[in-house]
Structure 1
Amino acid sequence: MFSSARRPPRRMAVRWAGAMALALAITGCVDGTGAGPDRGKADSISVLDYYTDEPEHTQWNEVLAACGRRAGVRVEHMSVPPASLVPRVLRQASSRTLPDLLMLDNPDLQQIAQTGALTPLDRYAIDTSGFAEGILSAGTYQGKVYGLAPYVSTVALFYNKDMLAEAGVAVPRTWAELKAAAARLTGPGRYGIAVDASATFESTWQFLPFLWSNGGHENQLDSPRAAQALQLWVDLVKSGSMSKSVLNWTQADVHDQFAAKRTAMMINGPWRIPELNKDENLHWGVAPVPVPRAGQTLVTPLGGEVWTVPQTSSEARQEKAAQVLACLNESPNMLTLAEQHFTVPSRAAVAARYAARNPSMTVFAESVRTARVRTGVLGVRWPRAATGIYTAIQSALAGEQTPDEALRDAQHVATSD
């Protein structure tokens, strides 16, 4: 779910001790991968991801090493910057030098699977039961599962409890309530709400709950329902309830505005919670993204990374990589990983237990049950639509075009060759 336009920025770290706890949990688990017998010899496997930040890189190094020990292999773990991952993988696919275990942001799986570089996971009898349909579809290409995510994420509405109480404002649940609340919460040095409307895929990600919950579709961006969703953002800026500076704000910037109490509400993800918790004087809550009208179903985008087994020259290493992948997705391990990174476990039953233990994550756990994968409709054509959407957001909020005009251009971008 963006850093370099494909996923939300890496979550802030929670505790170094968590990585060791996870390693111990994995070491003590019973092997249940179901993978077939080795055909050849494999003493080590290579792993590639984009977890370059600390302590996240070290945390993942620990879990991968622990799962490797269970599989009887040494793990050679490498992380590259997010923007470098897909270009690197495409080069490696053409030169047949892919790693044995590969992490991908879920919107990128379609592009890589299309090349034939990945192995369907049913070959290794990996357990995919208990995953919500939307979560499982994030790793699916042409009906076959190629990747599994130990955890996922989405976005929600964060609000300052003190500001809402002082203004006598209830937590907004609908668009009309959101506009009214944002107006009442706006005052000297403070806006009612902030979103990421930057010229990146981050703003597309934040806009999707408004588009999808209103019945808009990425394959018909020039529809009235899509225009209504964009008009909401335009109205918030025009009324002064939202700063025009959101055109340049990333999700990190939006967080900073909220933490500094310069905005009363924001759209953001659960990876911001560790930083918010550091300020004892900041009293915040989290609620679902408001829907157009009461009673409507909220549909949010599904964020998270999937782990895959590339096609390599060694069937033995592929099978060992599959065992490590299965280990990452076992229920106890995904629970610990989610607690480390403030994300939601991908198996529904685990997510329910997790939400009971972590109340601040309840809204996110509920939202991912109906969350939608971004590539579900357009597949490999999704990046074109995403580009059209954030370009339309920029144009409409800057006052250069009406939402209808901007989205007509977006539709052209989405469908152009």
Structure 2
Amino acid sequence: MNSAAIPSRRRFTALFGAVALVLAAAGCGGGTGSASAGGKVTSITALDYYTDATEHAQWGERLSACGEAAGVTVEHRSVPGASLVPQVLRQASSRTLPDLLMLDNPDLQQIAQTGALTPLDRYGVDSGGYAEGILSAGTYQGKVYGLAPTVSTIALFYNKDMLAKAGVAVPKTWDQLKTAAAELTRPGRYGMAVDANATFEGTWQFLPFLWSNGGDETRLDTPQAAQALQLWVDLVKSGSMSKSVLNWTQADVHDQFVAGKAAMMVNGPWRISELDKAEHLHWGVAPLPVRVSGQKLVTPLGGEVWTVPQNSSEARQRKAAQVLACLNDPDNMLALAEQYHTVPSRSAVASRYAREVPSMAAFVESMERARPRTGRLGVRWPRAATGIYTAVQAALTGEQTPQDALRHAQRTATDS
């Protein structure tokens, strides 16, 4: 999940890197592909942000296999996540986009708005069997432009031994969470840990509490939103949660949990591989608590969608769509989910996966009502996200009450 904002001190470096990458890529002729003398498409290009050497190689193998099934070679390139959207926008203006493009799902709205993407129904790509929230992540103005093979969200991880020793049950409501966190707190250990830092990652972690309580990013100054923020304030004020959450990333939260300095944490399934390596750590995972029994949990949707950009060759676009459809077939969904601890995007495949991999059941359950971050505001989402993490920071530091912090966030989000 690439939802974190780049800290300001890194923006110049990221922009410089993006420019260098665009210049370096210019020789590759993004989106040119190749064809035989008879005009038959023999290769297409694909662009993503999977720069980790192992992950890049794994995706390269999967793209190659799907390309072979479609009768083409896939020329696969990756750029750093912070560089992808700036590069795509430049390539869109110069008509040099790749044939197949991966985007973090919140970025699809911005790119589709430019007219750079093609609707997938044009090529008969099957978009059936997806939960409404998952499908909407790849939809712009009623048209499906992107599909995600797998998705992710966040849940409550807990230390089984610590809960058992304290006689604490896994909390299902906010009151139970506060009680459990207090009883699990000891010298050198906090009961609960979250990422409340001043980035989109901090907003991402707060959203389940906001949304499940009926809060809405289109109107932040509501009692429901204030109740959600008050919960986090109460956890910090009571000493059940460290004040350092104001600066922690999700990786930091994970480290606190593994080190035994936090009994429970909010985090995603991408942490499972490392959790499994921790000796003597017996962990479990459950859906996040809601304020009161009967409320429906709503979590944010993470994951990447694959798209087919507009270019001058209908034949290459059709081949790219075939590769995209292959990536989203049930077998590939299941294989990718098992490889990366993510959730298959088609509901039937996800249900099967939950039965086969119990540690992922909580994430599959949470995905039933997961919502894309751009679902309500579209391209205006980043402004609201900034307002949310700013309000969280102001409330947790005691600078403002939750009500005042959220009122300020609402005014900021609606300023022209």
- Please say whether Structure 1 and Structure 2 have the same fold, judged by a TM-score greater than 0.5: yes
Does the aligned pair in 1 maintain the 2:157–2:267 contact within 8 Å?
Answer: yes
Write the distance in 2 (CA, Å) between the matches of 1:279 and 1:4.
26
Contact conserved, 2:4 with 2:201, CA < 8 A, in 1? no
Could you list the per-position Cα deviations for residues 227-281 of structure 1 after superposition, in whole angstroms to 9, with x for gaps in the alignment?
A: 1100100110011000000011000000000000000000000010010001230
Q: Which amino acid aligns with 1:119?
A: T
User: What RMSD over aligned residues (CA atoms) do the two structures have, in Å?
Assistant: 1.1
For 2:41, the equivalent position in structure 1 comes to 42
2:367 counterpart residue number:
368
Alignment partner, residue 213 of structure 1: 212
1:56 counterpart residue number: 55
**Any residues of structure 2 matched to 1:127-138 within 5 Å, and which?**
127-138=126-137
Q: How does 1:253-272 map to 2 (within 5 A)?
A: 253-272=252-271
Partner Cα separation in structure 1 for residue 292 and residue 53 of structure 2 = 42
Please say if 1:74 is aligned against 2:73: yes
Q: Is the 8 A contact 1:387 1:413 kept in 2?
A: no
1:173 and 1:161 mapped to 2: Cα distance?
15
* Runs (4+) off by over 2 Å: 1-6
What is the CA distance between 1:373 and its match in structure 2?
1.1
Aligned residue in 1 for 2:400 = 401
Tell me, yes or no, if the aligned pair for 2:3 and 2:204 is still in contact at 8 Å: no
For residue 323 of structure 1, what is the aligned residue in structure 2?
322
1:3 Cα deviation after fit: 5.5
Report the equivalent of 2:122.
123
- The residue aligned with 2:299 is 300
User: Do the aligned residues in 2 keep the contact of 1:3 with 1:82 (CA within 8 Å)?
Assistant: no
Q: CA deviation at 1:40?
A: 4.5
Contact residue 40 and residue 315 of structure 1 kept, 8 A: no
User: What is the SS of the residue equivalent to 2:380?
Assistant: helix
Number of equivalent positions: 385
Aligned counterparts, 1:7-406, within 5 A: 40-406=39-405
- Aligned AA for 1:44? S
CA distance in 2, matches of 1:110, 1:391: 24
2:307 and 2:165 mapped to 1: Cα distance? 50
Determine helix, strand or coil for the equivalent of 1:285: strand
Over residues 100-148 of structure 1, what are the superposed CA-to-partner deviations in whole Å (9 max), with x where a residue is unaligned?
A: 0000011100000000000000000011111111110010000000000
Which amino acid in 2 is paired with 1:2?
A: N
Are the aligned partners of 1:257 and 1:263 in contact in 2 as well (CA < 8 Å)?
Answer: yes
Q: 5+ unaligned residues in a row in structure 1: which ranges?
A: 7-38
Structure 2: state its 5+ residue gaps.
7-37
Q: Is the 8 A contact 2:70 2:319 kept in 1?
A: yes
Hey, what's the Cα distance between the residues in 1 that align with 2:92 and 2:275? 41
Q: Which amino acid aligns with 2:275?
A: L
Instruction: Give, in angstroms, the shift of residue 395 of structure 1.
Output: 1.0
Please report how far the alpha carbon of residue 416 of structure 1 lies from its aligned counterpart in structure 2 after TM superposition.
2.3
Amino acid at match of 2:387: G
SS of alignment partner, residue 53 of structure 2 = coil
Give the deviation of 1:4 after TM superposition.
4.5
- The one-letter amino acid paired with 1:55 is T
How far is 1:180 from its partner?
A: 0.4
Q: What amino acid does structure 1 have at the position aligned with 2:51?
A: T
For residues 380-403 of structure 1, what are the alpha-carbon distances to aligned partners after superposition, in whole Å with 9 as ceiling and x for unaligned? 101110111011111111111111
For 2:4 and 2:236, the matched residues in 1 are separated by 26
Given residue 147 of structure 2, which amino acid in structure 1 is its aligned partner? Answer: L
**What's the TM-score, normalizing by structure 2?**
0.91
SS in 1 for 2:158: strand
SS at match of 2:257: helix
- Aligned sequence identity (%): 77
Paired with 2:4 and 2:270, the residues of 1 have a C-alpha distance of 17
Counterpart code for 2:181 = A
Per-residue CA deviation, residues 265-321 of structure 1 (Å, 9 max, x unaligned), is: 000000100100012300000011000001211011111100000001111111110
Structure 2 distance, partners of 1:149, 1:319, is 18
Q: Give me the whole-angstrom Cα distance separating, in 2, the residues matched to 1:393 and 1:372.
A: 21
